[in-house]
Chains A and B, each alone.
Chain A
């Protein structure tokens, strides 16, 4: 007997049962209920247990995904890409918390540097410190190899600048403790596909590629193949030799003098002239003697040196390895107070005053030591001759402005002190001035613009003092 036959039989048997008459049913009394009882209570739609479990599991997964994605964005998504070039090129990728996600050696040299560094979830500063230590121990950074190119790629330019400044301090602290004064080039680089591809091709960082391309734009005789193997130190020297302004090259040459003076820490580009000054310091006597030979021809060089007041500040500051010194100095202003101060110091033959910072002390020491014989002569002579010394010094390096200031200091103490003296110090000497503030302001402005006549006026004022 099949299923249908069974069902048919059951159907027939049930349908054979006597039915309740509807009329009878309709006439039966009924109670209209006020609310459902346990008989009529409608059962709520119950989802099967497995559906509930699936829904619960899905909700849990969703929550977990939200947390994981949030954690991922915070910790594993790259926020900044920092490249550090000496000769080894190293790329550091950080997350939003400035913790290192990855550390990539971009060339063979860098592999030795990054090997053994535990960078995962480490702070950027710690990683950079470790890298610097490794660079020193591997001989890439030394007293004669101090150029570092720091490049950063970040959508937020403010954050990029902040990170650069922070790293700049970190590196300087780390290197100064090793008696190495760093020369740090800094730049914020945009995201350019061509640049990225070229950098990958030559196994260098994007920052170094940008620097090289900038140099190549000015030097036709070189090619990428020639420059990419060169260290940052060599590239900087090449740029100097060919009078290439690295500031403009790195995109920060537009900065005003005030900006530079008031906030060296914030400068994206900060080339330490110190290491060039060392050479120039050695030749100071020579340059000074050259300056004397040049004599009055130095008017123009004075002007040019004045234009590079900031460079001079930086040079001086970096001699002492202290950036803050540079920030404190308003080197653009030719304050007579500081002139007086320097005069006093020179007369006392004491290289530094209590008020001055270390860099000033260094500079003064240098100036005094280098120009013991020149002080008297230069003090009696016109500052024009001092400026001519600048012109001679300019031949030595592109950062000769620093030397010029020193030679000026040696001569008159005027310009040098202006660069290195602090405003606060200068204010202490306001009462001792003979010139009015207006004159001073004029002189300052003129000095900034490199006006010869004003420079002369300053000097004459000092002479009066």
Chain B
């Protein structure tokens, strides 16, 4: 019996383990009141998701880190203006998206970024596993922006498709179709690259 229970309690190795992101809207009120504990809680809950989202748009670690930092500063500066609408993550993603898009526009205007630099940006030298690096590079290079957003958020934050749809303001059907299409493209690309299990 004990053996049976121990077997039953074993986690499914095929499933991801995600930190469940449960944010109460009242947390912004606390942040507005300069409650640093609330701000830290929000940061630790959402930091990776916001980074992944910024990375999916900018495809650059440094820019994504800049956007991440600016996003939390904006949250801190505008928390008192937040109106509860039932979608706190949507507001955070909206800020991150607007900042990332501003950065993209700025990048296109300056044209300082060369193609080689872009390639260097996709080097992700901090990733030790070559296969993981290759998959991330492939995802950022062959998928379009919406497919990247959806797949990265699904992979990093563990959001369900419905939550992604709510957070990004997209129809659920669009999220589902883009997720499947993106994964299909990625698998095909990886197969061509000879990346196998």
Contact = CB atoms under 8 A, between A and B. Distances in A.
Interface of A: 1-20, 22, 25-26, 28, 30-33, 35-36, 38-46, 48
B127 interface: yes
A48 B169 CA distance: 10
Chain B: number of interface residues, binned into ranges: 35 or more
A1 B69 contact: no
B44 A22 contact: yes
Contacts of A28: 69, 73
B102 to A, nearest CB: 7
Given A13-B129, A26-B36, 10 more contacts: A9-B136, A11-B155, A14-B152, A15-B48, A17-B61, A18-B65, A19-B51, A25-B43, A36-B78, A40-B77
Given A10-B151, A39-B95, A40-B74, A19 B102 contact: no
A13 B69 contact: no
A20 B69 contact: yes
Contacts of B36: 26
A1 B187 CA distance: 7
A41 B51 CA distance: 20
A6 B132 contact: no
B51 A17 contact: yes
Contacts of A38: 98
Interface string B162-181: 00000001010000000000
B155 A7 contact: yes
Interface string B67-82: 0110011101110111
- Give the 8 A-B residue pairs with the shortest CB-CB distance, closest first: A13-B136, A7-B155, A9-B135, A40-B78, A10-B155, A13-B132, A9-B132, A39-B98
Nearest to B157: A11
A196 B28 CA distance: 75
Contacts of A33: 77-78, 81
A8 B151 CA distance: 11
Interface stretch (B2-10, B112-120, B189-197): B189-197
A19 B47 contact: yes
Contact of B85 (A35, A39, A45): A45
Contacts of A35: 81
A43 B94 contact: yes
Contacts of B129: 9, 12-13, 16
Contacts of B83: 42
Contact of A20 (B40, B65, B85): B65
A309 B69 CA distance: 110
Given A20-B65, A32-B80, A40-B78, A13 B133 contact: yes
A1 B127 CA distance: 20
Contacts of A46: 169
Contacts of B57: none
Contact of A42 (B85, B127, B139, B152): B85
Given A6-B190, A20-B69, A31 B51 contact: no
14 contacts: A2-B197, A7-B16, A10-B151, A14-B51, A16-B127, A16-B132, A18-B65, A19-B47, A26-B36, A31-B77, A35-B81, A41-B94, A42-B94, A43-B90
Given A4-B14, A10-B151, A15-B48, A26 B78 contact: no
Interface string B122-142: 001011110111011001000
Nearest to B196: A1
Interface string B44-59: 1001100110010000
Contacts of B85: 42, 44-45
A18 B61 CA distance: 9
B31 to A, nearest CB: 11
Given A11-B155, A28-B69, A33-B81, A17 B126 contact: yes
Nearest to B133: A13
A370 B191 CA distance: 127
Contact of A10 (B72, B126, B136, B187): B136
Contacts of A40: 74, 77-78, 81, 91, 94-95, 98
Contacts of B76: 30
A14 B136 CA distance: 8
A3 to B, nearest CB: 5
A144 to B, nearest CB: 83
B186 interface: yes
A1 B133 CA distance: 15
Contacts of B27: none
Nearest to A16: B127
Contacts of A19: 47-48, 51
Contacts of B40: 22, 26
A230 to B, nearest CB: 76
A36 B197 CA distance: 48
Contacts of B156: 10-11, 14-15
Nearest to B171: A48
Given A7-B155, A25-B43, A45-B85, A30 B73 contact: yes
Nearest to B99: A39
B183 interface: yes
Considering residues B65, B82, B94, B135, which has the most beta carbons from chain A within 10 angstroms of its beta carbon? B135
